[in-house]
Amino acid sequence: MSRRSGILEFAVLGLLRESPMHGYELRKRLNTSLGVFRAFSYGTLYPCLKTLVANGWLIEEPGNTTEDALAAPLTGRRAKIVYRLTAEGKEHFEQLLSQTGPDAYEDETFAARFAFFGQTSRDVRMRVLEGRRSRLEERLEKMRASLARTRERLDDYTLELQRHGMESVEREVRWLNELIESERAGRDLKGSATGGPAQQDTTSGAPGGLPRAGDAPRPDTPDDTAT
């Protein structure tokens, strides 16, 4: 399984833990609400859903609205399929949430993990945040060393691009420091003292490339025939 496929499966399980959805709803949430993925086709989503069903982590149910029931025989279209998380799927997702290995610190993986911090225990959040910070600090050190070696050979625009990249990493490190400090103090992202998980709807404070739950949706053409 590729890393991207694994991230997609993780995000699908996390969204379906919140509530059952059909394919169009899932695709819209993945592409807009979470901000974890670039736009992708149903040809990417549905093989993932089929795999999760085959593994016993999801079940397929027919759409149960009156509109769906009446429209299907009249139009010849299939009724929408709703995907629901099974008990085994919930247990598997919780196992994934508890993992804090090096993969959790990578750019796209961390973005997906952060999007579900509201469902993650505080100690796991701390390990993921600290691991991500260490990864970025290593990256920043390498970027600075590379810039020092090549500065004299770079034109102004290439030099400015490298500086911009370094500033982006430095900004994320500062953001991580603030999050880690809040977690250690027992505060959620809204700043109130609590022992509960961070609020997911406040992730819009993340720097570029991280999930922004409040971002405006990307243009998306509804497809009522999607299951």
pLDDT in tens, 31-53: 876 665 555 667 888 999 999 99
CATH (residue range 3-101): 1.10.10.10
Which tokens sit at 205? Answer: 């404070």
| pLDDT confidence of residue 157 | 94
Q: What is the DSSP letter of 152?
A: G
Q: Max CA-CA distance within the chain?
A: 71
Q: Which of 43, 38, 88 is nearest to 220 (CA)?
A: 38
| pLDDT confidence of residue 187 | 80
Mean pLDDT of 158-185: 95
157 in the Ramachandran plot: left (φ > 0), alpha (ψ -120 to 50) or beta?
alpha
Q: Is 90 exceeded by the pLDDT of residue 206?
A: no
- Which ranges constitute the DSSP H helices of 55-121? 66-75, 87-97, 107-115
CA geometry: angle at 130 spanning 128 and 135, to 5°?
95
The string of pLDDT tens digits covering residues 112-150 is 899 999 999 999 999 999 999 999 999 999 999 999 999
Q: Are 118 and 190 in contact (CB under 8 A)?
A: no
| pLDDT confidence of residue 184 | 93
Q: Residue ranges per domain, the chain? A: 3-101, 121-194
Q: What is the DSSP letter of 189?
A: T
Cα dist from 33 to 82, 112, 148, 205, whole Å: 19, 12, 40, 14
